[in-house]
């Protein structure tokens, strides 16, 4: 199956959600939450991420996580990830309980395609304080796509992880996972990255972007948001409507996309130093806000 057919299938089977100009969404991807070991890329930004997500929860945003949220290539079990970042999952559970959480499949958490695995690991967790199993994300399901449909204009916003345009990370994800576990995880301590990852291989990145753009053009320039490459994208109106939220494992910062008041913005959260030497997590606007209807 070609990359074009894989993206089309994700679009066809996408979960559909209606929205309007009063809706608020925060879109992150590629968190790669790990076990807090030397190989956990998320650990360096976890305080930034938690502060940002807490802000969005308090402000009434819906959280869309476009895949690779949990690092299940380097880590065999979800339990070690949960224990390392339980405060994050406690916060995500608040979103979930209020119907404000959508999670998509990525290549690094493709095992969530198996609903039995999801039921076993994500429906409940063991509370060490009470000594009982308690609800975590009961009934949660993962899809490859999410399709927002505007209630008045009918405009569609299609979201996917983006690995559909990457044959090796879609069809060959089990082999890549094996190589990461036995080889690249150990080499990561020396700064050697996985060459199959488009985030660390510029040639692969360009291929993924080119294939995704081709699909968008052939589908009437549909408004499309992905992750996977870790490279933020924010096109001008009139260009190919291909957005990318970046990742949550940039050095000392995370990037994402906000949708609010019928507009979209590319934002970055980072740690800044105030004049008195205090460290503070701040949000910085990188691009936008731009009217969604302009695309």
The full set of domain ranges for the chain reads: 3-294
Instruction: Provide the pLDDT for residue 274.
Output: 84
Please, are residues 254 and 247 in contact by the beta-carbon 8 Å criterion?
A: yes
Q: Tens digit of pLDDT for each residue in 223-278?
A: 999 999 999 999 999 999 999 999 999 989 999 999 999 999 999 999 999 888 88
Full-model pTM: 0.90
DSSP string, 83-144: HHTHHHHHHHHHHHHTT-EEEB--GGGGGGGSHHHHHHHHSEEEETTTTEEEESSTT---BS
Helix, strand, coil percent values for the chain (each to nearest 5):
35, 25, 35
What's the rounded mean pLDDT across residues 132-160? 96
Tell me whether residue 112 is exposed, middle or buried, using C-beta atoms within 10 angstroms of its C-beta: 0 to 12, 13 to 18, 19 or more.
Answer: buried
Query: In whole angstroms, how far apart are CA 204 and each of 166, 207, 229, 292?
Result: 8, 5, 9, 29
Find how far residue 215's CA is from the centre of its chain: 20
What's the rounded mean pLDDT across residues 100-119? 95
Is pLDDT of 167 > 80? no
pLDDT band at 134, cuts 50/70/90? very high
Instruction: Provide the pLDDT for residue 243.
Output: 98
Q: pLDDT > 90: what percent of the chain? A: 75
* Half-sphere exposure at residue 34, Cβ-oriented, CA atoms within 13 angstroms: 18
What's the rounded mean pLDDT across residues 211-231? 95
Mean pLDDT score of the chain = 90
Query: In whole angstroms, how far apart are CA 186 and each of 84, 181, 197, 210?
Result: 19, 8, 16, 32
What's the rounded mean pLDDT across residues 106-117? 93
Is pLDDT of 76 > 80? yes
Which homologous superfamily does the CATH classification assign to the domain defined by 3-294?
Metallo-dependent phosphatases (3.60.21.10)
Please, are residues 73 and 122 in contact by the beta-carbon 8 Å criterion?
A: no
Find how far residue 113's CA is from the centre of its chain: 16
What's the rounded mean pLDDT across residues 148-158? 96
């Amino acid at each position: 199956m070609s990359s074009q057919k894989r993206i089309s299938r994700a679009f066809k089977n996408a979960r559909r959600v209606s929205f309007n100009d009063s809706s608020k969404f925060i879109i992150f991807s590629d968190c790669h939450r790990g076990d807090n070991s030397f190989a956990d890329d998320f650990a360096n930004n976890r305080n930034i991420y938690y502060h940002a997500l807490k802000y969005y929860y308090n402000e009434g945003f819906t959280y869309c996580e476009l895949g690779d949220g949990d690092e299940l290539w380097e880590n065999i079990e979800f339990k070690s990830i949960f224990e390392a970042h339980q405060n994050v999952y406690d916060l995500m559970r608040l979103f979930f309980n209020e119907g404000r959480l959508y999670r998509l499949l990525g290549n690094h958490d493709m095992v969530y395609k198996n609903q039995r695995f999801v039921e076993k690991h994500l429906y409940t967790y063991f509370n060490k304080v009470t000594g009982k199993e308690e609800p975590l994300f009961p009934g949660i399901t993962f899809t490859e796509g999410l399709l927002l449909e505007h209630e008045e204009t009918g405009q569609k916003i299609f979201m996917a992880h983006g690995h559909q345009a990457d044959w090796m990370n879609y069809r060959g994800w089990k082999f890549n996972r094996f190589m990461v576990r036995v080889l690249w995880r150990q080499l990561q301590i020396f700064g050697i990255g996985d060459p199959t990852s488009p985030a660390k291989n510029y040639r692969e990145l360009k291929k993924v972007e080119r294939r995704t753009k081709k699909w968008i053009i052939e589908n009437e320039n549909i408004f499309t948001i992905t992750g996977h490459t870790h490279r933020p994208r924010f096109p001008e109106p009139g260009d190919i409507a291909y957005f990318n939220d970046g990742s949550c494992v940039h050095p000392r910062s995370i990037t994402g996309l906000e949708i609010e008041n019928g507009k979209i913005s590319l934002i970055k959260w980072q740690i800044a130093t105030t004049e008195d030497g205090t460290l503070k997590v701040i949000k910085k606007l990188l691009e936008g806000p731009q009217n969604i209807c302009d695309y």
